[in-house]
Each structure stands twice: as C-alpha cells, then as structure tokens.
Amino acid sequence: MFRIEEVEHRYGDRTVLRDVSVELTERRVAVVGANGSGKSTFARLLNGLVVPTSGTVTVDGLDTRKDGRRIRAKVGFVFQDPDLQIVMPTVAEDLAFGLKHRGLSKADIDQRVEQALEDNGLRDLRDQPAHLLSGGQKQRLAIASVLATAPRYVVFDEPTTMLDLRSKRQIARVMAELEQPVVVVSHDMDLLEGFDRVLVFDEGRLVADGPPDVSIAFYLELMGAC
C-alpha cells in the first residue's frame, strides 16, 4: 500500500522529517511521538497533502507528486481539527457534500448519508447546524464524512483528542470494524490496543517500528515516563 523511500521534508529551511524509509502493508498502523516530532507531516505525506522535499511516497504504485488527485480519492484523511473539514450548514448536508462529483445518483447519495448517520450515531443530529455541534460531535461528523466516501485507506490524525470516554470507545469500535487499512496518529495509547504495528517518531526520525508493546515501551522510555 504505502511506500515511503528516503524521505526528507523541510518547511522553509527547517528540516522536520529526515531519512524516513518505510513500507506500510498492515491493516492497523499507528504513529506516536512527541509534539513536533513530525507525525502530522508524515500522515499528510500519505495522501499527498504534503509532498516530500526529497525522496518518494507511493500509494499502490502511484506517486504523490504526480497523482495527488487520484491518491486523495483513495486515501481518506481525518484532520485533528474537525473545523477544517466541516463545510456545510447541517450535519446531513455536510455528509452529502463529500459524496458529490463522484458520479453517484441522488438516491445513492441519500442512501449513503442515511447509512453514515446510522453507523456513526449521528441520526438525532441529522438536521442540526454543523457549526453548533460540540467538539466531540464535530469530530464524529468529520470521521463519518470521510468514511461515507468509502476510501480505500483511511489516515486519522489524532481523531480522539476532543472526545469523551464514550465517544472515544465508539471511535475505537468504528476503527476496529473498518475493513480498510488505517494509519492513525495518536497520543492515546488505549486506542492502539490490537494494532499490528506502531511507528515512533522523534525529532523527524523514525526511531522505533514494531508491535505495539515493543514500540510503546520504547516511546514511554523516550518520554521519560518509566
């Protein structure tokens, strides 16, 4: 699926990712690391929102430099800040918005919107103004909007930061049940239970890569937490 080869990324003269080479083929991959270690930049490389300063990123053989549009149709991206993602006045309209211009009939769109409301516990909020939802409800809507487009892969950048315990568990369940492979950036170690692989970033470098228990132990030590 994702192949990252000898990637370096700079914002201006600041190097924030260096010497990153990794191939992601597992169903559940997590990315952890300190604030500013380059996790979001790495996540954005995966769907071409950011293209590397040097090196290459390919998704199913497509290069993010050349095939950004096709890759973004394949790789759904859930932002940390749902306000970046919510664009329409009501919850149902916002869900429908992402489904337009995809060659779907009106009936198909309506059906997918109803399904997304149902699957994500948003039915009661159907006609509510999206901008008046609570932070956690907005985050659920942002996730629902991305999943409604049925992407081949889903990248989540800290999807649970605003959520209460119940919503967190609900999102964890949604993730566990997803058929698509996912890559999740998270500071929430509980969310990573059952993941296949955890990458640890530190100052722009990939410093650990392995099963959750091994990588998380490495990360906690790095953070001086044990």
Ligand X SMILES: Nc1ncnc2c1ncn2[C@@H]1O[C@H](COP(=O)(O)OP(=O)(O)OP(=O)(O)O)[C@@H](O)[C@H]1O
Q: Which residues bind ligand X (CB under 6 A)?
A: 11, 16, 33, 35-41
Residue 37's binding partner among Mg ion, ligand X, none (Cβ under 5 to 8 angstroms by kind) is: ligand X
> Looking at beta carbons only, is 109 or 192 nearer to ligand X?
192
Binding-site ranges for Mg ion (CB under 5 A): 40
Choose between 121 and 135: whose C-beta lies nearer to Mg ion: 135
For residue 187, give the nearest of 79, 45, 39 by alpha carbon. 39
Smallest separation (angstroms) from ligand X to the CB of 203: 9
Q: How many helices (H) and strands (E) does the chain have?
A: 7, 10
Min CB(121)–ligand X separation in Å: 26
Looking at the Cβ atoms of 9 and 74, the one nearer to ligand X is 9
- The pair phi, psi for residue 206, each rounded to 5°, is -80, 110
In whole angstroms, give the CA distance from residue 120 to residue 159.
14
Question: Are 143 and 120 contacting, i.e. CB atoms less than 8 angstroms apart?
Answer: yes
Alpha-carbon distance 25 to 28, whole Å?
Answer: 9
Smallest distance, Å, CB 82 to ligand X? 15
Could you say which of ligand X, Mg ion, none residue 35 binds, taking C-beta under 5 to 8 angstroms by partner kind?
ligand X
| Local structure of residue 26 (DSSP, 8 states) | S
Minimal CB distance residue for Mg ion: 40
Least separation in angstroms between CB 61 and Mg ion: 28
* Residue 213 Cβ vs ligand X, minimum distance, rounded to whole Å: 22
Cβ-based nearer residue to ligand X, 78 or 116: 78
Comparison of 72 and 187: residue with beta carbon closer to ligand X: 187
User: Which option in ligand X, Mg ion, none does residue 33 bind, with CB closer than 5 to 8 A by kind?
Assistant: ligand X
- Phi, psi dihedral angles at 25 (to 5 degrees): -125, -5
Nearest-approach distance from CB 201 to ligand X, in angstroms: 6
The one-letter amino acid code at 41 reads T
Distance CA 31, CA 135 (A): 23
Q: Is 203 left (phi over 0), alpha (psi -120 to 50) or beta?
A: left
Determine the 3-state secondary structure of 84 from DSSP: helix
Residue closer to Mg ion (CB basis): 1 or 185 = 185
